[in-house]
Amino acid sequence: MIFAVTPYHYGSIQTLLDDKLPFVLVNSYQENTSSVYARPVPGMEKAFLHAASLGHESIGYITGDLTYLNGKDRLLAFETLAAKFRMKTEIVEGNFSRRSGYESFSKFSRKLGN
Protein backbone atom coordinates (compact mmCIF):
# COMPACT_ATOMS: atom_id res chain seq x y z
CA MET A 1 0.00 0.00 0.00
CA ILE A 2 1.07 3.55 -0.68
CA PHE A 3 -0.20 6.42 1.46
CA ALA A 4 0.28 9.73 -0.30
CA VAL A 5 0.32 12.40 2.40
CA THR A 6 -1.38 11.46 5.65
CA PRO A 7 -2.26 13.53 8.72
CA TYR A 8 0.49 13.70 11.32
CA HIS A 9 -1.25 11.37 13.77
CA TYR A 10 -2.81 8.87 11.38
CA GLY A 11 -3.99 6.02 13.61
CA SER A 12 -4.10 3.36 10.89
CA ILE A 13 -0.30 3.40 10.59
CA GLN A 14 0.13 1.62 13.92
CA THR A 15 -2.42 -1.02 12.88
CA LEU A 16 -0.46 -1.68 9.69
CA LEU A 17 2.78 -1.95 11.68
CA ASP A 18 1.17 -4.29 14.22
CA ASP A 19 -0.23 -6.50 11.44
CA LYS A 20 3.13 -6.40 9.60
CA LEU A 21 1.49 -5.23 6.37
CA PRO A 22 3.85 -3.61 3.85
CA PHE A 23 3.27 0.06 3.06
CA VAL A 24 5.10 3.24 2.09
CA LEU A 25 4.41 6.80 3.21
CA VAL A 26 4.80 9.56 0.61
CA ASN A 27 5.60 13.10 1.84
CA SER A 28 5.34 11.94 5.42
CA TYR A 29 7.46 9.85 7.74
CA GLN A 30 7.18 8.00 10.98
CA GLU A 31 9.54 5.87 13.03
CA ASN A 32 9.82 2.25 11.80
CA THR A 33 8.15 2.97 8.44
CA SER A 34 9.33 3.15 4.83
CA SER A 35 8.87 6.55 3.26
CA VAL A 36 9.65 8.80 0.31
CA TYR A 37 10.00 12.41 1.40
CA ALA A 38 11.00 15.59 -0.41
CA ARG A 39 13.04 17.77 1.93
CA PRO A 40 11.79 21.35 1.79
CA VAL A 41 15.02 23.18 2.67
CA PRO A 42 17.13 22.87 -0.54
CA GLY A 43 14.53 24.35 -2.89
CA MET A 44 13.27 26.88 -0.40
CA GLU A 45 16.82 28.05 0.28
CA LYS A 46 17.30 28.72 -3.44
CA ALA A 47 14.15 30.86 -3.38
CA PHE A 48 15.47 32.83 -0.40
CA LEU A 49 18.85 33.31 -2.09
CA HIS A 50 17.14 34.60 -5.22
CA ALA A 51 14.87 36.97 -3.27
CA ALA A 52 17.84 38.28 -1.27
CA SER A 53 19.89 38.78 -4.46
CA LEU A 54 17.08 41.00 -5.77
CA GLY A 55 17.22 43.08 -2.60
CA HIS A 56 13.99 41.87 -1.00
CA GLU A 57 13.81 42.32 2.76
CA SER A 58 10.49 40.58 3.35
CA ILE A 59 8.84 37.43 2.06
CA GLY A 60 5.41 35.82 2.28
CA TYR A 61 4.44 32.19 2.74
CA ILE A 62 1.21 30.24 2.37
CA THR A 63 1.36 27.19 4.63
CA GLY A 64 0.11 23.76 3.84
CA ASP A 65 -2.30 21.97 6.15
CA LEU A 66 -0.57 22.03 9.52
CA THR A 67 -2.19 18.76 10.61
CA TYR A 68 0.19 17.12 8.10
CA LEU A 69 3.85 16.58 8.94
CA ASN A 70 4.79 17.91 5.50
CA GLY A 71 2.97 21.18 6.22
CA LYS A 72 4.70 21.55 9.60
CA ASP A 73 8.14 20.74 8.16
CA ARG A 74 7.76 23.28 5.36
CA LEU A 75 6.68 26.01 7.77
CA LEU A 76 9.63 25.27 10.06
CA ALA A 77 12.00 25.39 7.06
CA PHE A 78 10.51 28.73 5.98
CA GLU A 79 10.82 30.24 9.47
CA THR A 80 14.39 28.96 9.85
CA LEU A 81 15.46 30.35 6.48
CA ALA A 82 13.70 33.68 7.09
CA ALA A 83 15.73 34.06 10.28
CA LYS A 84 18.93 33.03 8.49
CA PHE A 85 18.36 35.60 5.74
CA ARG A 86 17.01 38.18 8.24
CA MET A 87 13.81 38.68 6.27
CA LYS A 88 10.52 39.95 7.63
CA THR A 89 7.73 37.47 7.00
CA GLU A 90 4.02 37.39 6.34
CA ILE A 91 2.52 33.93 6.86
CA VAL A 92 -1.00 32.95 5.83
CA GLU A 93 -2.36 29.52 6.67
CA GLY A 94 -3.52 27.39 3.76
CA ASN A 95 -4.30 23.72 3.25
CA PHE A 96 -2.58 22.61 0.00
CA SER A 97 -5.73 23.23 -2.09
CA ARG A 98 -6.02 25.58 -5.06
CA ARG A 99 -8.88 27.36 -3.34
CA SER A 100 -6.82 28.09 -0.22
CA GLY A 101 -3.97 29.30 -2.43
CA TYR A 102 -6.29 31.75 -4.16
CA GLU A 103 -7.85 32.92 -0.88
CA SER A 104 -4.45 33.24 0.79
CA PHE A 105 -3.08 35.29 -2.10
CA SER A 106 -6.10 37.57 -1.77
CA LYS A 107 -5.24 38.04 1.94
CA PHE A 108 -1.66 38.96 0.99
CA SER A 109 -2.97 41.42 -1.57
CA ARG A 110 -5.24 43.13 0.97
CA LYS A 111 -2.40 43.37 3.51
CA LEU A 112 -0.19 44.99 0.88
CA GLY A 113 -2.96 47.43 -0.02
CA ASN A 114 -3.42 46.17 -3.60
Domain map of the chain by residue range?
2-36, 41-112
Task: Find all residues with CB under 8 Å of 67, minimum gap 6, and list them.
Answer: 7, 8
CB contact at 8 A, 61 and 101: no
Question: pTM of this prediction?
Answer: 0.79
Of the CA atoms within 13 Å of residue 89, those in its CB half-sphere come to 19
Q: What is the pLDDT of residue 113?
A: 64
Averaged pLDDT, 51-62: 95
CATH class of the domain whose range is 41-112: alpha beta
Burial of 94 (0-12, 13-18, 19+ CB in 10 A): buried
103 band by pLDDT with thresholds 50, 70 and 90: very high
Amino acid at 74: R
Of 2 and 112, the one with more pLDDT: 2
Q: What is the pLDDT of residue 80?
A: 98
